Amino acid sequence: MLTQEKVNQIKEIKGKVRGAVFQTDASYIQSRFGPDGIELLSSRLRELSCPIEYGNIKAMEWLPLWQRVVSMLLIKDLFQLSDEDIKEMGIAAPRTLFIVKLLVKFFISLESALGRSPDYWVKHYNVGELEVVKIDEKERRIIVRRIKSRKKL
């Protein structure tokens, strides 16, 4: 159970994240749990002094990374999601964006898309770095790793 004390600790996390990640989370919650799911989530976030109004978030705005952490932990708690459910939520995220679906389906190979994933990380998070470790299309297996700090340019 996510407590106010834990939220206060999470608020120490530095960094920012684009609003688009909250929009994709909201889309998943709404499709799986309906509008009541979003209202339940928003209500509980307000109780924890972490108000997030999913309907008012702009895709390109920068929001505190700690809010993303609180949101994900609360989503997992409230809807009793397993780690596998959270993975499915991540898999579902690109499906909500028409242009991403179109590009991946017709124009971009899996290897090319994954090879560019570190570039996409930088566009969504202002901390850390993503590294593609292995792509095995034959076994349909991908290994990526998040690196805590970015390399100095």
* Sign of the C-alpha dihedral computed for residues 60, 63, 69 and 70 taken in this order: negative
* Predicted confidence (pLDDT) per residue in 84-118, tens digit: 888 888 777 655 554 455 455 555 566 666 666 67
Confirm if 31 and 89 have CB atoms less than 8 A apart. Answer: no
Q: Is the pLDDT of residue 17 over 50?
A: yes
Tell me which of 71 and 135 has the higher pLDDT: 71
Range of the domain at 135: 108-153
Please check whether residues 98 and 122 belong to one and the same domain.
no
The model's pTM: 0.73
Alpha-helical (H) ranges within the chain are: 4-10, 19-33, 35-47, 65-78, 83-92, 98-106, 110-115, 117-124
Please check whether residues 119 and 81 belong to one and the same domain.
no
Please check whether residues 24 and 80 belong to one and the same domain.
yes
Please check whether residues 34 and 83 belong to one and the same domain.
yes
Please check whether residues 33 and 51 belong to one and the same domain.
yes
Nearest CA to 75 among 63, 85, 62?
85
